[in-house]
Chains A and B, each alone.
Chain A
């Protein structure tokens, strides 16, 4: 595998979930089911009493299920199972993006946590506006870095300048896909300090 392909592969694997947790959980449940059913079969073959129910009893119970259980209960249980199945299906198909993204680098497969970008953007905006740390917070979404600023009472802020400060920090990261900076200034100010 050449350098570029390996790098892409590493980046992809680092920024997306492997779905290991969910598939291990499913596999463990499946394994427990297999082992239990297998044990019941063997016990029945040896003519011993069942753990919970013998295979024959289970087969008959499944056949008579519509008579034995109230229709409403069946609908509820079926819907629950269908929803669970849909969740697994969605997990299988969806991307599973983690809160990280790739940065440009020649030599490395370079990944940065969204949280680290957010902290850096917050800091630059705070320096540009001369505010206290708790007055600025940033959330990094898929395509935007949203900065919310609470100004000090009586000291208006220049939104344009703050957006520029945020955009400069984001651009300096040289992300594989740039983020748009988006600054919103709260109407209510904080008491000055």
Chain B
């Protein structure tokens, strides 16, 4: 779980898909149909001539030739910057601080997520349904309200363990965390299977 803007991801993919598919269909049509081929050459030729004429409208000192010619790399650079910004927006939001309370008189208190993770680990010691756990915290983008930190608890179930049994363990753990922190965070629990599940012995029948 993170702050990736998923709607934007999908819009971007849709846009890229439409452009790519459109270009592909045009090229394929040019391959199949002589009229399209002729049209292609004519339209491209016209566009090139128009561009030459446009370049002459704003001459600049050599070696540039035209201010319009400068505009092309500028637009490309802008595109590159937007793309980099886009890439940097993927993911994010993970934080080490599970909870925080600021008090003018008593000072600020922060609870590190590793403290809670260790507590969960200790509580699960010897549990027969769960073989491993991990706990992470993340904060919504732009949210300053630290009480709104959300927790994500992953429990690796032993092979064959009943998911409801593991879920009950999770409910208990989370109410203990609530009691420890003194307020309720949003908690996401995932009951999974992983490498630990594969390596650990399966739940015995008896």
Task: Report if B59 contacts A (CB, 8 A).
Answer: no
Contact with A along B32-55 (1 / 0, CB 8 A): 100001101100110010010000
- In the assembled complex, which residues on chain A have CB atoms less than 8 Å from the CB atom of B174? 107-108
Q: Is the interface of B mostly helix, strand, loop or mixed?
A: helix
User: Is the CB–CB distance between A66 and B6 below 8 Å?
Assistant: no
CB of A191 within 8 A of chain B? no
Chain B, residue nearest A42 (CB): B73
Q: Which partner residue on chain B sits nearest A55 by CB separation?
A: B72
Q: Is the CB of A31 within 8 A of B13?
A: no
**Number of B positions contacting A (CB below 8 A):** 78
Contact yes or no, A109 B189, CB < 8 A: yes
| Separation of A119 and B84 alpha carbons in the complex (Å) | 43
Q: How far, in whole Å, are A57 and B69 apart by their CA atoms in the complex?
A: 15
Closest B residue to A172 by CB, please name it: B164
Chain B residues with CB under 8 A of A23? 9, 12-13, 90
Q: How far is it, in angstroms, between the C-alpha of A46 and the C-alpha of B51 when the chains are bound?
A: 19
- List B contacts of A31 (CB < 8 A): 80, 83-84, 87
Evaluate contact between A126 and B205: CB separation under 8 angstroms: yes
CB of A41 within 8 A of CB of B73, answer yes
A-binding segment of B103-111, B113-121, B155-163:
B155-163
Give the interface segment out of A70-78, A149-157, A181-189. Answer: A70-78
Contacts of B51 in A (CB 8 A): 59
Contact A123 B203 (CB under 8 A): yes
* Those of B60-76 within 8 Å (CB) of chain A: 63-65, 69-70, 72-73, 76
Would you call B73 and A45 a contact (CB within 8 A)?
Answer: yes
Give the dominant DSSP class at A's interface: helix
A123 nearest CB across to chain B (Å): 4
Please tell me the number of chain A residues within 8 Å of chain B, measured between CB atoms.
83
Query: A34 to B41, Cβ gap below 8 A?
Result: no
Give chain A residues whose Cβ lies under 8 Å from the Cβ of B187: 107-109
From B28, B91, B175, A74 is in contact (CB under 8 Å) with: B28
Residues of B close to A18: CB separation below 8 A: 2, 4, 6, 9
**Complex Cα gap A110–B151 (Å):** 12
A89 within 8 A of B: yes
Chain A residues whose CB sits within 8 angstroms of the CB of B99 once the complex forms: none
Task: List 19 other contacts, CB 8 Å, given A78-B24, A108-B174.
Answer: A3-B186, A19-B9, A24-B87, A41-B76, A65-B30, A71-B37, A74-B27, A74-B31, A75-B27, A75-B28, A77-B27, A78-B23, A88-B13, A90-B17, A92-B13, A103-B191, A111-B191, A115-B193, A120-B157
A and B contact pairs by CB, cutoff 8 A, 6 listed: A26-B16, A27-B83, A34-B76, A83-B24, A127-B205, A173-B163
* Interface residues of A, Cβ cutoff 8 Å to B: 3, 6-7, 10-11, 13-14, 18-20, 22-24, 26-28, 30-31, 34-35, 37-38, 41-42, 45-47, 55, 59-60, 62-67, 71-93, 100, 103, 105, 107-113, 115-117, 119-120, 122-123, 126-127, 133, 169, 172-174
